[in-house]
Structure 1
Amino acid sequence: MLDFAIFAVTFVIILVGAVLYLYPSSRSASGIPGLNPTEEKDGNLQDIVNRGSLHEFLASLHGQFGPVASFWFGGRPVVSLGSVDQLRQHINPNRTTDSFETMLKSLLGYQSGTGGGATEAVMRKKLYESAVNNTLEKNFPMLLKLVEELVGKWQSFPKDQHTPLCAHLLGLAMKAVTQLALGDRFRNDAEVIGFRKNHEAIWSEIGKGYLDGSMEKSSIRKEHYESALAEMETVLMSVAKDRKGQRSQTAFVDTLLQSNLTERQVMEDSMVFTLAGCVITANLCIWAVHFLSTSEDVQEKLHQELEDVLGSEPVSLDKIPQLRYFQQVLNETVRTAKLTPIAARLQENEGKVDQHIIPKEVSYSPLPNLVNLLNTSLSQSASKNVGLLLTFYTTISPHFRFAYTVATVVLSTVVRQLKLHQVKGQVVEARSELVSTPKDDTWITVSRRS
């Protein structure tokens, strides 16, 4: 039953970015069953909106056309695979890219780094990995301090006081991402507040534009968005200028500055990383803490793993891989919350799935599903499937690599010192955005561990 559930709700997208002979006027060239574009410019975007989410759209697509089906994401042809077995047929681990990043750059109107093919994708991936690894290694004590400050604040609350998850964990994510990615300039609260104001203005319009294109209908909203984007770009260019040539190489942006990227490329990559990093980090932490508040058993298992692996020592970067149950909880959080719409791998060679030929230079990715397995013991075969699907998020996207580390520090600090409790009668729903985001009135209560 579990295998069937995973099969039924797990979908893999193959984003065909370089297949020039496929364009909206012709479906027959692909030989893959699926939808023709509803509109030449937007492809099947309106169909996705009408279904309410990309996940629901894909469920309907596979219900209509079977396990291998195609559609159009804007002007790009897309092939979706509907089972783990078919995913295995198409894996080529030698080439990877992050199409979530590509999508964000497209929405922001950025062009650099979006069309360089497999070689540039690999080089940029290595640069991003180096930047993330460097900043986490150099700044891990700072991250611990930020999390300890938040948990200390929660400890001071009366037992029945409602703790607003979204406000507190978004604030933590903003501090962590700006300080670790952009440097000590953002230890100043005023800088973080300004960043947050512009971030929220940009991200809210990206999400709404993705869903309904409504920003174009309001000159006031469009002006507000463009002003926030311009101000953010100015800040990021200023950060890059200030940090260029300095001896201390501790922040994400420092690694970019040591490469052969132009100043504009450094700014754009910093924009994408901080925009996505804040949202993904915050939402992974919010959903994980919320889910933990629903299960005392899971909290106790996490607490026991901390005792077994760390003893009385604080969590450290080198010990995080040993916290395997923490990893499982975060993996299930990603799947259950549908945390990101798309992440992808780029395949260098032509591939084949069943009787279908998938052209070279394609990318593919798993989508998180709706199955909440936090309290379920996975069978060995199901565990392998889950691992296969979820490695995409941690191995491809620097935002997820960063978010998983922050979330592990948050959870380990919280469950060591506190017990989390649901607010009775609360119904937690997600807002419709690019990333699955709980509504603002998401609360928990906390009590100290004895």
Structure 2
Amino acid sequence: MLDFAIFAVTFVIILVGAVLYLYPTSRRASGIPGLNPTDEKDGNLQDIVSRGSLHEFLVSLHEEYGSVASFWFGGRPVVSLGSVNQLRQHINPNHTTDSFETMLKSLLGYKSGMGGGANETILRKKVYESAINNTLKNNFPLMLKLVEELVGKWKLFPDAQHMPLCAHLLGLAMKTVTQLALGERFGDDAEVISFRKNHDAIWSEIGKGYLDGSLEKSSSRKAHFEQALSEMESVLLSVAKERKVQRKQTVFVDFLRESSLTERQIMEDCMVFTLAGCVITANLCIWALHFLSTSEEVQEKLYQELENVLGSDPVSLDKIPELKYCQQVLNETVRTAKLTPIAARLQEVEGKVDHHVIPKETLVIYALGVVLQDSDTWSTPYRFDPDRFEEESARKSFCLLGFSGSQTCPELRFAYTVATVLLSTLMRQLKLHMLKGQVLEVRSELVSTPKDETWITVSKRS
């Protein structure tokens, strides 16, 4: 099974920037069918900008050139794979790094490993994943409490009141991630608001500022970004120091402190988890509730499972694996929303897909957004249909792409847990209703996000 990264770079300049930070690269053309560069300096960058996102560009690229296609960034060839069969063939021996973590840390100016090579990188990755898993086990009651508070507020609203999903669920994600990652200090709403201000400033520039080089061209924007990053780093470092002397609960940062990581490395891992964790958790929950609001049938089937498995008891960590249909709903949410549409790897040794040779040090993109809506793999691909995951072939394809099983990245596992708690609490008390006439457009960035606020209404179950 391939070591696919889940969280992926949506803009090619980010992908290439991460690679260039870490590796030298070859300028040999791959010989794979695709676009010639439209500009000697920028390659096909303007074509990507014109399409609106790298995902939309890849959709058109694969429609024209097939499932294995190439394009150019500057003088450097990039190969994109756009079907399950081709992805299955692509065996990359680099199993020591996560492409999203590598990209994010390189853009923030961090080093991915512990400074001692591949073995230390693997150890650090294990420490990171173990810290997230232990955080979930140790703090599940707190997560449940935060979800119950939100659902309790929704129950007080009149049935006809419009509910802004993005605002409410980003708030839930921010509270959950900060308190489980950094501790009780972030039980204070003022701390969460301050954290969100810097989080949004950093994340937005990672998404847009590196696409067209506009961040480098604007001294004011760059200064704002650097100030936000500096303030965030200071907060994370101070949290790590504070928790040496006092703490009421054991959270993510504490589990990192119990390892051999330095304070700087602890801060970096907290930065990655909080940045990525907030966005992916919020958007998984937003899309799940949006899609559920479009189907009363799916809501009722999920409700029946929750009643059968949980009865009147709150959800618990050990009961989550029994919620099979809930898992199908979340899988189908990820697939239909193309939650993370791009992943990438550096070709560390010469490889081959079909009859195409991929030269060493070529950047290989996994066009996951294309594959997730490929009609050869998924019947009626644009329909939200959790029942499709009753089929073993669908589950295998999903696992191959890295969205389930042992290859799932820890941030997505965390998001699945929060979303399961939300659905388990919400669906037994309320029904969701979509607003007629609402058109939902997608902004395909690092994580697929609604372009505008998403609204629903709720009604109490009788």
Q: What range is the shorter-chain TM-score in?
A: 0.7 to 0.9
| C-alpha contact 1:215 1:222 (8 A) present in aligned 2 | yes
State the SS of the aligned residue for 1:259: coil
Partner of 2:146: 146
Q: Following the alignment from structure 1 to structure 2, what is the Cα–Cα distance between the partners of residues 213 and 193?
A: 29
Q: Following the alignment from structure 2 to structure 1, what is the Cα–Cα distance between the partners of residues 76 and 113?
A: 17
CA apart distance, 1:390: 4.7
Partner of 2:282: 282
Alignment of 1:343-382 (within 5 A): 343=343, 351-358=351-358, 365=366, 367-368=368-369, 369-370=372-373, 371-375=381-385, 377-378=387-388, 380-382=392-394
Partner of 2:105: 105
State the SS of the aligned residue for 1:284: helix
| C-alpha contact 2:281 2:414 (8 A) present in aligned 1 | yes
Residue number among 437, 442, 446 corresponding to 1:430 in the alignment: 442
CA apart distance, 1:147: 0.1
| C-alpha contact 1:151 1:414 (8 A) present in aligned 2 | yes
CA apart distance, 1:39: 6.5
Change (3 A) 1:338 1:117: farther
Alignment of 1:167-206 (within 5 A): 167-206=167-206
State the SS of the aligned residue for 1:316: coil
State the SS of the aligned residue for 1:211: coil
| C-alpha contact 2:184 2:249 (8 A) present in aligned 1 | no
Pairs aligned (count):
436
Change (3 A) 1:376 1:179: closer
Q: Following the alignment from structure 1 to structure 2, what is the Cα–Cα distance between the partners of residues 416 and 386?
A: 28
| C-alpha contact 2:328 2:386 (8 A) present in aligned 1 | no
Q: Under a length normalisation based on structure 1, what TM-score does the superposition of the two structures give?
A: 0.85
Query: Unaligned 5+ residue runs, structure 2?
Result: 1-9, 374-380
The answer to whether the aligner puts 1:328 opposite 2:324 as a matched pair is: no
Paired residue type of 1:191: E
1:24-60 residue CA offsets vs partner (Å, 9 max, x unmatched): 4x31xx4544456667886644432222222222222
Paired residue type of 2:26: Y
Change (3 A) 1:388 1:20: closer
Q: Under a length normalisation based on structure 2, what TM-score does the superposition of the two structures give?
A: 0.83
CA apart distance, 1:133: 0.3
Q: Select between 97-106 and 238-247 the one with higher mean Cα deviation.
A: 238-247
1:411-432 residue CA offsets vs partner (Å, 9 max, x unmatched): 1111111000011221122235
Q: Select between 216-225 and 283-292 the one with higher mean Cα deviation.
A: 216-225
Q: Following the alignment from structure 1 to structure 2, what is the Cα–Cα distance between the partners of residues 37 and 110?
A: 31
State the SS of the aligned residue for 1:212: coil
| C-alpha contact 2:205 2:215 (8 A) present in aligned 1 | yes
CA apart distance, 1:196: 0.9
Q: Following the alignment from structure 1 to structure 2, what is the Cα–Cα distance between the partners of residues 364 and 250?
A: 38
CA apart distance, 1:160: 0.1
Partner of 2:209: 209
Alignment of 1:12-31 (within 5 A): 17=19, 22-24=25-27, 26-27=28-29, 30-31=30-31
Q: Select between 136-145 and 197-206 the one with higher mean Cα deviation.
A: 197-206
| C-alpha contact 1:17 1:76 (8 A) present in aligned 2 | no
Alignment of 1:212-291 (within 5 A): 212-244=212-244, 250-291=250-291
1:129-179 residue CA offsets vs partner (Å, 9 max, x unmatched): 101101100000000000000000000000000111111100000000000
Q: Following the alignment from structure 1 to structure 2, what is the Cα–Cα distance between the partners of residues 355 and 260?
A: 46
Q: Select between 242-251 and 223-232 the one with higher mean Cα deviation.
A: 242-251
Q: Following the alignment from structure 1 to structure 2, what is the Cα–Cα distance between the partners of residues 171 and 394?
A: 29
1:181-226 residue CA offsets vs partner (Å, 9 max, x unmatched): 1111111111111101111122222222133333333333222222
Partner of 1:316: 316
The answer to whether the aligner puts 1:448 opposite 2:451 as a matched pair is: no
CA apart distance, 1:297: 0.7
Partner of 1:389: 401
Partner of 2:81: 81
The answer to whether the aligner puts 1:410 opposite 2:411 as a matched pair is: no
CA apart distance, 1:312: 2.2
State the SS of the aligned residue for 1:299: helix
Q: Following the alignment from structure 1 to structure 2, what is the Cα–Cα distance between the partners of residues 280 and 408?
A: 14
Q: Select between 200-209 and 274-283 the one with higher mean Cα deviation.
A: 200-209
Change (3 A) 1:328 1:366: farther
Paired residue type of 1:257: R
Residue number among 395, 401, 410 corresponding to 2:413 in the alignment: 401
State the SS of the aligned residue for 1:318: coil
Change (3 A) 1:204 1:92: closer
Q: Select between 204-213 and 118-127 the one with higher mean Cα deviation.
A: 118-127
CA RMSD of aligned residues (A): 3.3
| C-alpha contact 2:345 2:364 (8 A) present in aligned 1 | yes
| C-alpha contact 1:395 1:401 (8 A) present in aligned 2 | no
Change (3 A) 1:408 1:45: farther
CA apart distance, 1:120: 4.4
Change (3 A) 1:116 1:66: farther
1:280-300 residue CA offsets vs partner (Å, 9 max, x unmatched): 111111111111111111111
Q: Select between 338-347 and 194-203 the one with higher mean Cα deviation.
A: 338-347
| C-alpha contact 1:340 1:434 (8 A) present in aligned 2 | yes
| C-alpha contact 1:249 1:255 (8 A) present in aligned 2 | no
Paired residue type of 1:296: E
Query: Unaligned 5+ residue runs, structure 1?
Result: 1-10
1:401-448 residue CA offsets vs partner (Å, 9 max, x unmatched): 111111111111111110000112211222353321113431110001
1:280-331 residue CA offsets vs partner (Å, 9 max, x unmatched): 1111111111111111111111111112222222111122122121112111
Q: Select between 192-201 and 34-43 the one with higher mean Cα deviation.
A: 34-43
